[in-house]
């Protein structure tokens, strides 16, 4: 049993008058082990976001099969979606709410019963307890990113996917975010992240798949892969 499995996964975005159809995934086969920190490494446009967005239920695949935590994305889409938390790239968010309110709304969205919500524990885990009742717009960039991580965790998913978690942030904040990712992993969460920084994959991941032009061109334990680069 794997955290995420893909077999011959394909996605072609429909074109428009201005742009031709785009084959973003060209038959991806990938198995991500439970308990790993897995990196999807590749340049912009390689298909990384498309891949994870299919599992997050945000993009519809063209063909192929996939499963999250053993739940087939076609036969059990709700189960698959419940098993995954996705931290998006962009940080535009509910600026008029407080972190506490933002997490409560997310929990409501996922249908987490009030009695089972862990809102304050999650705020604590991402270091935002002190900002519990501040407005989101008053948070620093790093705090907003940590709140995004928190929002992806409200339904207690076994798999956390982070799309370019540190794109455009300075080195200090990058290291801080890496520490949070490691902490979550230590708590038992399987981590999948996309990145175009080799350094990030090298620092964080135990297994790395290299994605280019919609294809996985290599997938190996980190040490093995780095020897060949």
Q: Which residues contact ligand ADP by CB under 6 A?
A: 13-14, 16, 22, 24, 42, 44-50, 59-60
Task: Pick the closer one to ligand ADP by CB: 18 or 227.
Answer: 18
40-56 burial, b for 16+ CB within 10 Å, e for fewer? bbbeeebbbbbbbbbbb
C-beta of 44 vs 187, nearer to ligand ADP: 44
Work out how close the CB of 183 gets to ligand ADP at its nearest, in angstroms, rounded to a whole number: 25
State the pairing for strand pair 215-221/207-212: antiparallel
Quote the least distance from Cβ 50 to ligand ADP, whole Å.
Answer: 3
16/187 with CB nearer ligand ADP: 16
64 or 99, CB closer to ligand ADP? 64
Q: Which is nearer to ligand ADP, 45 or 158 (CB)?
A: 45
87: nearest Cα among 201, 13, 194, 14: 194
Q: Which CB atom, from 104 or from 215, has the smaller least distance to ligand ADP?
A: 215
Considering only CA atoms, which of 141, 191, 204 is closest in space to residue 168? 141
């Amino acid at each position: 049993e794997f955290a995420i499995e893909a077999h011959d996964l394909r996605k072609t975005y429909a074109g428009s008058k201005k742009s031709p159809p785009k084959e973003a995934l060209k038959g991806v086969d990938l198995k991500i082990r439970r308990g790993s920190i897995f990196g999807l490494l590749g340049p912009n446009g390689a298909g990384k976001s498309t891949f994870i967005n299919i599992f997050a239920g945000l993009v519809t695949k063209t063909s192929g099969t996939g499963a999250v935590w053993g739940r087939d994305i076609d036969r059990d889409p709700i189960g698959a979606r419940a098993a995954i938390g996705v931290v998006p790239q962009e940080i535009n968010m509910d600026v008029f709410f407080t972190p506490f309110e933002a997490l409560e709304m997310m929990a409501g969205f996922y249908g987490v019963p009030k009695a089972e919500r862990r809102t304050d524990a999650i705020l604590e885990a991402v270091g935002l307890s002190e900002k519990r009742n501040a407005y989101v717009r008053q948070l620093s960039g790093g705090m907003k990113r940590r709140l995004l991580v928190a929002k992806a965790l409200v339904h207690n998913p076994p798999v956390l996917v982070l799309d370019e978690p540190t794109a455009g942030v300075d080195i200090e904040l990058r290291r801080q975010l890496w520490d949070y990712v490691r902490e979550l992993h230590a708590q038992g969460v399987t981590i999948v992240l996309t990145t175009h920084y080799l350094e990030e994959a090298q620092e964080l991941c135990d297994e790395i798949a290299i994605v280019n032009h919609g294809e996985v061109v290599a997938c190996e334990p980190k040490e093995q892969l780095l020897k060949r680069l």
